[in-house]
Structure formats: structure tokens, C-alpha cells
Amino acid sequence: MSWSKLKQQLESFLCPALIGRVEYLATSYRYLPDKAGTCYIAVDKKNVFNMSDVTSLIRWYQTELEIKNDSDIQIPIYNEEIEAVRKDTKGLVPEERLKVIARGRKISEYAKDLLSAQSTLSKSNFNVEATRFLARSIEESIESNDILINVLALVDRRIGKKRILNMREKIKLKHPIVQYFYELRLSTL
């Protein structure tokens, strides 16, 4: 599918409040067929999401330790996770340490998922992913672990106010760029 047709289809799915604010842009290299162009998403004329640009407004993590030490990341810990730690340690660990251990385990799991999603994203092709998004149902796109698919779904008009508000807890566990687009969508409600 040509870029202009893909862009037109993506923009036709934008929620009405974001039309004119969110733009899909691309650069291409006409005389260098082996050099792929880059695609990015701009919000209010600012390049916000470029899959290959680590200097953008959104924090891209390089190591698991960066994620663990980031105070902005708030990961909810549930009683089932604390009980799992209690069971693994056979009740030998003091009560106040159980939550710390459970949080550490969950952050490690989250960090691995986040770094895996980032590395997949940097290797992916915007056109291929956007075409895949257009072929999927909106429910599949929301539940996807793919960062770009999540971003495209969040600005989609098929997601209503109630669904956006119900996603608050899930979004806390997503990449910062997905959180950014979630807050952008919330601001339009």
C-alpha cells in the first residue's frame, strides 16, 4: 500500500478531537532504494514518536536497571503476588519484606517486557505495523503488547470515553509513549 493511501486510512480513524493535532509523517529517499525512509507521529506539530529516535520527548530505556531505578514507574502489587512470594519463601521472610520482594519481581518482569517491546519496535517497519493495525479489530489492538499498535489504537475514534477511562490501570504498565498518548486522549474527553 502506498504511503499516501496508508496515511489517509490512518487519519480517517482518528478521533474527532485529535484531527489536525495528530499527524502521521514520513520521509523517503527516492534515489536510494536500499535506504528505508522513516515514519513518525507528530502532535501539535512536534515530533513525538519516531521509532528510531532515542532523543525524542519520551524516555527510551537502555537497561533493566534504568527501569528499576525510575521513580516515575508505579507498578501496583496485588495480594496474590505477595502470597506467591510467601509461598516461595515458605514463610521465612518477614511480612514487610514480602511486598519489597514481590515488587522487585514484578519490576524485573516489567523491565524485560518493556525492553523486548522497544527492541521489537526499533526493528519494525511503520508501514507494515500500520497495515496490520488497520486489518485488526480495535479490541486486539488495545490488548496488543506492540507499542505502535497501542498508540494507533489510543487515538482511534472507535474507542469511546468509557473504555478509555477503564484502561487507567492497564496503561500504567505500558511504555511511556503509550502513557503519553493515553493522557493526550484523556485530555480530549
pLDDT, one tens digit per residue, over 1-49 is 777 888 899 999 999 999 999 998 877 655 555 555 567 788 998 888 7
The answer to whether 98 and 81 are in contact (CB under 8 A) is no
Element (H, E) at 40: strand 39-43
pLDDT, one tens digit per residue, over 83-140 is 888 888 888 888 888 888 888 888 888 777 777 766 666 545 777 888 889 999 999 9
The answer to whether 1 and 18 are in contact (CB under 8 A) is no
Q: pTM of whole model > 0.85?
A: no
Domain coordinates in residue numbering, the chain: 64-116
